[in-house]
Every structure is written in C-alpha cells, then in structure tokens.
Amino acid sequence: MSSEQPSPLRHSLVTQQRHLVTETAFCLGEIPTTIRVRVYRQLANQRYSAEQSHYIQTPLQPEPAFESGDDHPSLDACLAAIAEIMVEQYQQAEQAGHSPSEDWLLPSRDFD
C-alpha cells in the first residue's frame, strides 16, 4: 500500500470519501476463524472508520455486537474499539459456562 495521502476529489457529486489505511487480521481466543478489519481515514475530517469481516454473537446475545461509534481519532482507537467489544462478549460467554465456537462469528454481508 502506498503511504501517499490522497486529497479529496473536488466535485459536488463525490461524497463520503475515504482512504484505505490498513487491513489487519486476528483470531479471537479459541475460535480459529480469521477476523479481518479494514480501517479507512475519512478525507474530509481525518477521522477513522472500519469495516469488519465478522461480528460476534454469543449465546448470551440476542443480536450481534456492533461497535457503536464508527468515528475515531486514530487508527489505534478504531482497532481497539472493535477488539474490545469482541473480547468483552467472548469473555462474558465463557464466564457464563459457554464453550467458544465458530458459530459465534457471523460473517458480514458487506465485507468482500
């Protein structure tokens, strides 16, 4: 990936511009599925947002856990927010007596 930082395109019809900063991958605890996270820098305000390959939904959760704010001051803050949600849900399920399972990870329909 190039370290060159693009400037926003100057056209009224071009909106929501962002630049891919990095893609990182990790596994969560005993679940062997690789989770990928792409982090983007918004060109308008230099804030960071992400998209992820999987979301966590343990037996304790009625729906998948999503990182609530997709607007972060730094790359590290963006990645930490996603990891913290996943780790917290994973640990709560383990403490409640559930065994980690690949079924806990739901693929994102929007991640390609």
The rounded radius of gyration (Å) of the Cα atoms in the chain is: 16
pTM confidence score: 0.85
Phi, psi (rounded to 5 degrees) for 46? 65, 20
Question: Domain-by-domain residue ranges, the chain?
Answer: 18-107
* Residue-level pLDDT, tens digit, the chain, 112 residues: 456 677 766 777 767 788 999 999 999 999 999 999 999 999 888 899 999 999 999 999 999 987 766 789 999 999 999 999 999 999 999 999 999 999 999 999 988 8
What's the one-letter identity of residue 18?
R
Token digits of residue 61: 């959760």
